[in-house]
Structure 1
């Protein structure tokens, strides 16, 4: 199974070889409520970790999605742009936002694994 890593801003990156699949965590989509709009970066965009990369809007709020790792955007999930509710239905699966070719694969190791993210969420309550 691919390795999931999380940021404190509630993005995830699923490492698949030299690429990462990026989206928002299940916790984040629950906090946002019904997602009504998603805008992805353009393919070819170069991102540094922490750069604003995408926007997700819900009935409650708009949120920037930050790049969890540096690299080049190689694909976007156009289905999510057409049907933003996919983020609510399956944030970690079909609700992904974009794929990034990792500039430095070791960069993901600095992010939280699933156990550390769960512990981090406990401190946010």
Structure 2
């Protein structure tokens, strides 16, 4: 299990060629109270850097970009009933979707936890 982060505040938890994707605690804090989440359905092909999901809060609606390319294997159905999971557990139960990576080399250049924390401190 390896954890990666993007400058767009997504996280990616990778085991082998499978990854779980969500938004960071910093991102949910910037959004405020999340009221709706639209996640991609299983079977959808997502592309690194392209829109994969939408999160709406009391402040705004924001796109969530896929940190890597692949095929979605599971969407977090719990978010439909309880979108606030993104606020209360953004880096665990509030995950958005799981995917099978199509190109593991796309993980190069993503940040580890220490680099992400240092980067967020500059914002």
What's the TM-score, normalizing by structure 2?
A: 0.96
- For residue 108 of structure 1, report the CA deviation from its aligned partner: 1.5
Deviating beyond 3 angstroms after TM superposition, the runs of 4 or more aligned structure 1 residues are: none
Provide the rounded CA distance (Å) in 2 between the counterparts of 1:41 and 1:19: 16
Unaligned residue ranges in structure 1 (runs of 5+)? none
Distance 2:106 2:80 in 1: 28
Alpha-carbon distance in 2 for matches of 1:77, 1:42: 9
Q: Which has the higher helix share?
A: 1
| Correspondence 1:93 to 2:110 | no
**Runs (5+) with no aligned partner, structure 2:** none
1:102-117 equivalent positions in 2, closer than 5 A: 102-117=101-116
| Structure-1 residue corresponding to 2:66 | 67
Q: Distance in 1 between matches of 2:15 and 2:92?
A: 13
Correspondence 1:24-103 to 2 at 5 A: 24-103=23-102
